Structure 1
Amino acid sequence: MSYADTLFKNMCRDILENGTSTEGEKVRPHWEDGTSAYTIKRFGVVNRYDLRKEFPALTLRKTALKSCMDEILWIYQRKSANIHDLNSHVWDEWADETGSIGKAYGYQIGVKSQYKEGMMDQMDRVLYDLKNNPFSRRIITNTYVHEDLSEMHLYPCAYSTTWNVTEEKGSDKLVLNMVLNQRSQDVLAANNWNVCQYAILLMMVAQVCDMVPGELLHVIADAHIYDRHVDAIRKLIGREEYPAPKVHLNPEVKDFYQFTTADLLVEDYQAGPQIKNIPIAV
């Protein structure tokens, strides 16, 4: 059965059984009807996924993997902060009349800085270092830029990646690993979405750097289940599990900036039914 399902179930049970409630506290998020959106939260959740063993997609319900990839390309490849460059509608509520979400996510990845090797943006720096100095301990992206927070329509949730290369005995290729740091996560709406997004990003970068995608370490400071999501979560974690799908990339792509969602190949993805009309706190 899918290891991602096991981790997800254990995490949700831990939050429900051992988490703390924000009910009655002053909170920013609210529901569409204007009432406060309270959560049951757990501090410091850490999940580890090994892409050499399986792709970490939930089978309790299906995660839209092509849409996940499209959003990650929007941020790290297209370096856009405009929803008109994105095929899904997950960011519509935070966009202004021009489609912009402000100086967030892709905008920050695309900001160029001066290095001794020349001007590079954050993603170009990651690719440069992995190809030229793979054992560096300084390969990081960060979108939580304090001086620009006032011009972001939503503060970044998944805000930094740290890339680390290891050697595997008996292999002629290096292994590429990543730490994803997230300040806050709506577990029902976004957990596996973010996991799959960054797993795909790790796979793409590993491929163009001629490495093996290894471990994705997901660190969540505030992992929470909203009050109106509790019943859905309880039903979801009681469902049957299936084997993890087989997920591959088109091996012909050797340039990160040439990937499209057509290059994501998904096989044998069996999953439970979708949960429809999930209320989203804003």
Structure 2
Amino acid sequence: MSKADELFVSMCRTILDHGTTTEGEVVRPRWDDGAPAYAIKAFGITNRYDLRREFPALTLRPTALKSAMDEVLWIYSRKSNNINDLNSHIWDQWADESGSIGKAYGYQIAQRSCYAEGEFDQMDRVLYDLEHTPFSRRIITNMYTFSDLHEMNLYPCAYSVTYNVTQEAGDERLTLNMVLMQRSQDVLAANNWNVVQYALLLMMVARHAGMVAGELLHVIVDAHIYDRHVPLVRELIERPQHPAPRVSLNPEVRNFYDFTTDDLIVEDYVAGPQIKGIPVAV
């Protein structure tokens, strides 16, 4: 069965059985009706996904893999902060009349900094380092810029990525690994969405660098299940689990910036029914 399912079920049970409730506390999120969105939370959830074994898509319910890939390309390839450059509507409620979400996400990746080798934006520097100094311990992107937070319509949740290269004995190619740091996560609405996004990002960057996509280490500081999601999660984690789908990229595409969602190949994705109308706390 899917390793992503096993990790998701274990995480949800840990939160529900041993988590801390925020009921009655001062909380920022609200439901559409104005009621405070309380949650049950756990601190410091860490999950590891080995892309050499399987792609970490949930099968308890389907994850929209192409839409997830489109959003990660919106941030790291198109480097956009405008929803008009995105092919889904998940950011609509945080956008202004022009479509901007403020100085957030892709805006931060596009910011250029000076190095001895010249000026680079965050993603270009990652690709440069992987080509020239793959064993560097400084290959990082970070979107949590304190001086710009007041101009972000939503603070970044998944905010930092660290790349790290290893090499397996007897393997001619290097292995590219990733650590995703996330300060906060709505487990029902976003957990597998974020996992598959960054798994795909790892696969695309590894392809560009001529490396093998290895492990994705996902660290969630505050993993929470909102009060109105609890019955949905309890039903979801009791569902049958299926083998992970086979997910790959168009073998003809080598350059990171050339990837589109048309280059995503998904085979044998069997999943339970979708949960529709999940309430979103804003």
Distance 1:12 1:58 in 2: 13
Matched residues in 2 for 1:10 and 1:54: separation?
A: 18
Which residue does the alignment assign to 2:226?
226
**Rounded Cα–Cα distance in structure 1 between residues aligned with 2:117 and 2:68:** 33
Cα offset, 1:166, TM superposition: 0.2
Normalising by the residue count of structure 1, what TM-score does the alignment of the two structures yield? 1.00
Between the aligned partners of 2:170 and 2:189, the Cα distance in structure 1 is 40
Shift of 1:270: 0.3
Structure 1 residue aligned with 2:30: 30
Match of 2:241 in 1: 241
Q: Map Cα deviations across residues 134-186 of structure 1 (whole Å, 9 max, x no partner).
A: 00000000000000000000000000000000011111100000000000000
Other-structure match for 1:177: 177
Cα RMSD, aligned residues only: 0.3
Give secondary structure in 1 for the equivalent of 2:239: coil
Q: Structure 1 CA distance, aligned partners of 2:251 and 2:209?
A: 12
State the Cα distance separating 1:227 from its structure 2 match.
Answer: 0.0
Q: What residue in structure 2 maps to residue 87 of structure 1?
A: 87
The residue that corresponds to 1:268 in the other structure is 268
The one-letter amino acid paired with 1:9 is V
Q: Which residue of 2 aligns with 1:4?
A: 4
Correspondence 1:58-207 to 2 at 5 A: 58-207=58-207
Task: Name 2:48's counterpart in structure 1.
Answer: 48
Q: How far apart are the structure 1 equivalents of 2:104 and 2:141?
A: 13
What's the CA shift string for 1:42-101, capped at 9, x where partnerless?
A: 000000000000000000000000000000000000000000000010000000000000
Aligned partners of 1:246 and 1:217: how far apart in 2?
20
CA shift, 1:10, in A, is 0.2
Runs of 4+ more than 2 Å apart: none
Please give the alpha-carbon distance, in whole angstroms, between the structure 2 residues aligned to 1:185 and 1:244.
23
Name the CA distance, whole Å, in 2 between partners of 1:138 and 1:63.
32
User: Quick one: which amino acid aligns to residue 215 of structure 2?
Assistant: E
CA offsets 1:237-256 (integer angstroms, 9 cap, x no match)? 00000000000001111111
TM-score calculated relative to the size of structure 2: 1.00
% identical equivalent positions = 72
Q: How many residues align?
A: 282
Q: Where do 5+ consecutive residues of structure 2 fail to align? A: none
Identify the residue that residue 212 of structure 2 maps to in structure 1.
Answer: 212
Structure 1: tracts of 5 or more residues without a match: none
Q: What is the alpha-carbon distance in structure 2 between the residues aligned to residue 149 and residue 84 of structure 1?
A: 22
Q: Aligned equivalents of 1:261 and 1:207: distance in 2?
A: 15
Partner of 2:281 in structure 1? Answer: 281
Q: Distance in 1 between matches of 2:44 and 2:64?
A: 26
